């Protein structure tokens, strides 16, 4: 069963969301009478059973069909269950969760079973159907969460060259491609151009309506850029609210001006947040190699021009275009719009913290830069792909909290707290 990591996490820790009806269980035991007894018990729960008496017959079963769970005896005649489990993990990358059954009820054996990666440990004496099904359900639930997590992490690694919010090239990948293009242009003498595109209202939307709404607008903004991307050009997210659209063909003044006007038209639109209509527009700056210097000088020219446009717009100009939609309540006479709309005050801080993936199995050091009751801004030690949901522990407070990634640019991440403190 393929699940996203987010959906898999909806399954409760005790496997309450797992339906066992029709699931398959492989019983591995050298005692044929015990296998028969266990098959009868599992049949009462509408579980389909397979049987194996040793490693050879088990391999034959697994090559034919991977069950949903494996019940493995600790002592198989001349074989040790722990050693067999290790061999199975090497041979079958998609191995089903394994529960160890043993007549040895010592705590030492149980601890060793969990340390070696088995999902559960059950004593064979007086084994009850409710005990078996609870262990099977919990093991399958845990396995599905791990499989979904591994799948999403693999996808993130595969798509590390892409920004996960906008679908554009990441800042690092954009820089690499731009450097290669610049080197090729220096050798050939050809010109290339960079059109810098900034979502002018991003910061104000983030301040007034929150990061989640600002990112929603940015996602739509990026989608409009992608829909106008020519096959011979490329584009990437340079920083939080800015994209670089790179052209190495059709770099005549007329062609470039046509591109500028096309993007100005396509990136001017309205976006509704509840009762407010936001007028979205781009800030555009153009630099051409040779005319505006080399790659480094071009980027400097673009940055200065975008900053000049931002200053020319003024801090309050965007707010004048954000008019109430029909049906919203008018503001009281004389009332002024508050400068800060966050539900909680954001405090600047510099606290050591770490990120945990899937409980405590993986820890990533980071620093909390700002924090509020609703979320925090985190800086990683180096750029790293992360899933949408993870756990954050702020060292000084000792809290472990589930958070959702709202935005991610290079080594900076914005998160919101979405779970109770653990």
Domains of the chain: 5-14+22-158 (3.40.50.2300), 171-324 (3.30.70.270), 347-417 (2.40.10.220)
Question: Kind of pairing, strands 98-102 and 120-123?
Answer: parallel
Q: Strand pairing partners for 370?
A: 348, 377
Question: Kind of pairing, strands 98-102 and 69-73?
Answer: parallel
pLDDT of residue 193: 94
Question: How sure is the predictor about 126, in pLDDT bands with cuts at 50, 70 and 90?
Answer: confident
Question: How sure is the predictor about 419, in pLDDT bands with cuts at 50, 70 and 90?
Answer: low
pLDDT of residue 206: 79
Share of the chain above pLDDT 90, in %: 31
Question: How sure is the predictor about 319, in pLDDT bands with cuts at 50, 70 and 90?
Answer: very low
Grouping H, G, I as helix, E, B as strand and the rest as coil, residue 105 is coil
Within a 13 Å sphere around the CA of 268, how many CA atoms are in the beta-carbon half?
10
Within a 13 Å sphere around the CA of 199, how many CA atoms are in the beta-carbon half?
31
**CA 318 from chain center: how many Å?**
32
**In Å, what is the CA distance from 262 to each residue of 220, 241, 247, 256?**
17, 19, 14, 10
pLDDT of residue 323: 43
pLDDT of residue 158: 56
Q: What is the DSSP letter of 119?
A: S
**pTM score:** 0.44
Sheet holding 282-288, edge to edge: 234-237, 242-247, 193-199, 282-288
The mean pLDDT of the chain is 81
How many CB atoms lie under 10 A from the CB of residue 208? 22
Query: Are the C-beta atoms of residues 211 and 165 closer than 8 Å to each other?
Result: no
Residues 167-199: b if buried by 16+ CB within 10 A, e if exposed: ebbbbebbbebbeebbeebeeeeeebbbbbbbb
**CA 73 from chain center: how many Å?**
38
Q: Measured on CA atoms in the order 385, 407, 270, 199, is the torsion positive or negative?
A: negative
Rounded CA gap, 407 and 386, in Å? 11
Is the model's pLDDT at 12 over the cut of 70?
A: no
Q: Give Cβ neighbours of residue 28 (< 8 Å, ≥ 6 apart).
A: 51, 52, 53, 58, 70, 71, 72, 73, 76
List the alpha helices (DSSP H) in 159-246. 171-188, 202-209, 211-227
Is the model's pLDDT at 80 over the cut of 90?
A: no
Model pLDDT for residues 16-61, shown as the tens digit of each residue: 678 888 899 999 999 999 999 999 999 998 999 999 999 999 999 9
Rounded CA gap, 229 and 225, in Å? 6
pLDDT of residue 3: 46
Is the model's pLDDT at 416 over the cut of 80?
A: yes
Region 298-310 average pLDDT: 90
**Placement of tokens 């002592």 in the chain:** 75
Query: Are the C-beta atoms of residues 74 and 110 closer than 8 Å to each other?
Result: no
Q: Which two tokens stand for residue 355?
A: 């990120």
Rounded CA gap, 234 and 225, in Å? 10
Pick the closest to residue 129 from 211, 204, 38, 50 (CA basis): 38
Q: What is the 3 state secondary structure string of 310-333?
A: HHHHCCCHHHHCCEECCCCCCCCC
Rounded CA gap, 416 and 374, in Å? 6
């Amino acid at each position: 069963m393929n699940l996203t990591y987010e959906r898999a996490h909806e399954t409760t820790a005790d496997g309450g969301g797992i339906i066992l009806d029709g699931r398959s269980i492989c019983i591995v035991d050298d005692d044929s009478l015990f296998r028969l007894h266990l098959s009868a018990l599992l049949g009462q729960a509408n579980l389909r059973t397979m049987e194996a008496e040793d490693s050879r017959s088990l391999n034959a079963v697994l090559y034919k069909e991977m069950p949903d769970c494996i019940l493995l005896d600790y002592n198989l005649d001349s074989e040790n269950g722990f050693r067999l489990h290790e061999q199975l993990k090497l041979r079958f990358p998609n191995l089903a969760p394994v529960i160890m059954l043993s007549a040895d009820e010592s705590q030492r054996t149980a601890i060793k079973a969990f340390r070696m990666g088995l999902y559960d440990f059950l004593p064979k004496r007086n084994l009850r159907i409710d005990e078996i099904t609870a262990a099977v359900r919990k093991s399958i639930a845990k396995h599905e969460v791990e499989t979904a997590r591994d799948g999403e992490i693999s996808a993130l690694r595969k798509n590390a060259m892409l920004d996960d919010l906008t679908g554009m090239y990441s800042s690092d990948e954009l820089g690499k491609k731009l450097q290669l293009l610049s080197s090729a242009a220096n050798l050939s003498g050809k010109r290339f151009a960079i059109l810098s595109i900034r979502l002018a209202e991003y910061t104000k939307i983030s301040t007034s309506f929150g990061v989640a709404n600002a990112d929603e607008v940015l996602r739509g903004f990026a989608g409009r850029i992608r829909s106008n991307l020519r096959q011979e050009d490329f584009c990437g997210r340079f920083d939080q609210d800015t994209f670089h659209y790179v052209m190495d063909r059709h770099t005549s003044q007329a062609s470039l001006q046509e591109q500028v006007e096309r993007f100005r038209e396509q990136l001017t639109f309205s976006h509704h947040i509840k009762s407010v209509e936001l007028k979205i527009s781009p800030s555009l700056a153009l630099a051409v190699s040779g005319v505006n210097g080399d790659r480094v000088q071009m980027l400097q020219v673009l940055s200065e021009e975008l900053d000049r446009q931002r200053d020319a717009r003024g801090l309050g100009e965007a707010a004048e275009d954000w008019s109430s939609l029909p049906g919203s309540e008018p503001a009281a006479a004389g009332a002024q719009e508050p400068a800060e709309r966050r539900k909680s005050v954001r405090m600047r801080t510099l606290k050591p913290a770490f990120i945990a993936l899937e409980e405590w199995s993986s820890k990533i050091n980071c620093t909390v830069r700002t924090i509020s009751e609703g979320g925090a801004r985190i800086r990683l030690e180096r750029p790293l792909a992360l899933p949408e949901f993870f756990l954050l522990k702020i060292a000084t407070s000792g809290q472990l909290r589930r958070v959702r990634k709202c935005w991610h640019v290079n080594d900076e991440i914005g998160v919101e707290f979405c779970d109770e403190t653990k």
